[in-house]
Amino acid sequence: MMTRARTLLLVLLAAGLALLGALAGSVPTSAEPGGLFVDCGRALFGRPSVLPDPACASSYSPFDTLSIAALGAAAVLLVLASALALRDSRRVRALSR
């Protein structure tokens, strides 16, 4: 029973991290080179392929890094939760024989 609770906790944590990654990746960014406001687009998802201004290159950095790290951690947690659930199902099947 404890394994199911751990699996559920890992899945919920992975879902939270995936949501954080999606939110961080869709944050609108901007830059102000020389006092002029420039809309740089979204941080990761929907980012323009050609930068509107060279100053936009530094405005993406904290958000795209956070987004990629959170999505990667969510993927690792989902793999761990799947392995834990598989091990639990094999253990239950072995005990029922």
- What is d(CA 79, CA 96) in angstroms, rounded to the nearest whole number? 26
Alpha-carbon distance of 50 to 53, in angstroms, equals 9
Query: Does the structure show a pLDDT above 90 at 14?
Result: yes
Report pLDDT digits (tens) over 25-84.
Answer: 888 888 888 888 988 888 888 888 888 888 888 888 888 889 999 999 999 999 998 988
User: Residues 68, 21: contact at Cβ < 8 Å?
Assistant: yes
Contact 63, 24 (CB under 8 A): yes
Q: What is the pTM of this model?
A: 0.77
Residue 2: band (very low, low, confident or very high) from pLDDT cuts 50, 70, 90: low
Cβ neighbours of residue 95 under 8 Å, at least 6 residues apart? none
**Does pLDDT of 1 surpass 60?**
no
Q: Where are the domains of the chain?
A: 2-95
